[in-house]
Amino acid sequence: MQNFSEFERRIGITFSDTSLLKKALTHSSYVNEHPRQHLEHNERLEFLGDAVLELVVTAYLFSEYPQKPEGELTSFRAALVNANTLGHLADGLHMDKYLLLSHGAKKDPVRARLFILANAFEALVGAIYLDRGYESAANFIKTHLLPYMEEVLAHRLWQDAKSLFQERAQEHVNITPTYEVIHEEGPDHEKHFVVGVFLEDERIAQGEGPSKQEAQQQAAAHALEIKGWTHI
């Protein structure tokens, strides 16, 4: 059995039931590649962790920003719990080093791997909740995720990236951005899209995701950074 004690030390949590941690770090592709090991993948834990994340973040935002309306709080929450944020947090915790993936999944593009890491982060939260209870899961989220709220506010990451990029493009160069699918792959139930964002004929950036809409948002977010239009 893989030794996850180093990862436990990294996150500051020791599991009573280490099988929960292993399950959180087991991707479905690994289970399919190793059927004789009779492992469970992390998708059910991901489902649970997503709910715990949403509750903790919602309670935090409700308490910290009493003057903000519901719509703005919803945007704040979306910026905190989206795949891009969670994937980068998981990467910062070096979850990639401990994640059980198939050989094929290990060769996926960086952006696709980021989604896998984001899902694993949610599964980890679910595993902590089951093993240590709500308070431990909430403390983990408060330690690793909630400090990112400063960056969300500083760079207006809570605002819809497509809308903000269109606003900035029209303001600075008087051009309305367009989006084009550069590449798509995978079966209908598991598509992966690569989308480019253009100002007239110039491709400014590209993004990836499981839907065209999410890939467009990623492309717009990258374009804002490239153009230096993230600040007010």
> Which of 121, 154, 187 is a domain's end point?
154
Same domain, yes or no, for 170 and 62? no
**Whole-angstrom distance, CA of residue 32 vs CA of residue 26:** 11
Q: What is the pTM of this model?
A: 0.74
Same domain, yes or no, for 83 and 129? yes
160 is catalytic: no
Same domain, yes or no, for 189 and 143? no
Give domain status of residue 175, yes or no.
yes
Which pLDDT value is given to residue 231?
59
Which pLDDT value is given to residue 187?
82
Same domain, yes or no, for 118 and 208? no
The boundaries of the domain holding residue 125 are 5-154
Q: Residue 113 belongs to a domain with what CATH number?
A: 1.10.1520.10
Active-site pick, 8, 96, 108, 122 = 122
Give domain status of residue 69, yes or no.
yes
Q: How confident is the model at residue 186 (pLDDT cuts 50, 70, 90)?
A: confident
Sign of the C-alpha dihedral computed for residues 112, 116, 118 and 119 taken in this order: positive
Average pLDDT over residues 196-220: 92
Same domain, yes or no, for 9 and 52? yes
* Tens digits of residue pLDDT in 50-96: 999 999 999 999 999 999 999 889 889 988 998 888 998 999 999 99
Specify the number of domains making up the chain: 2
Which pLDDT value is given to residue 109?
63
Same domain, yes or no, for 75 and 188? no
135 is catalytic: no
Same domain, yes or no, for 93 and 192? no
| DSSP designation for 182 | E
Which pLDDT value is given to residue 232?
47
Q: What is the mean pLDDT of the chain?
A: 90
* Tens digits of residue pLDDT in 102-123: 887 777 766 678 889 999 999 9
Q: In 3D, which of 172, 174, 171, 169 has the Cα closest to residue 197? A: 169
Q: Residue 190 belongs to a domain with what CATH number?
A: 3.30.160.20
Same domain, yes or no, for 147 and 185? no
* Tens digits of residue pLDDT in 6-54: 999 999 999 999 999 999 999 999 999 988 888 999 999 999 999 999 9
Start-end of H helices in 133-203: 134-144, 149-154, 161-172
Give domain status of residue 15, yes or no.
yes
Active-site pick, 6, 8, 43, 50 = 50
**Whole-angstrom distance, CA of residue 8 vs CA of residue 107:** 26
Average pLDDT over residues 119-141: 97
Same domain, yes or no, for 195 and 99? no
Same domain, yes or no, for 36 and 67? yes
Three-state secondary structure call for residue 106: helix
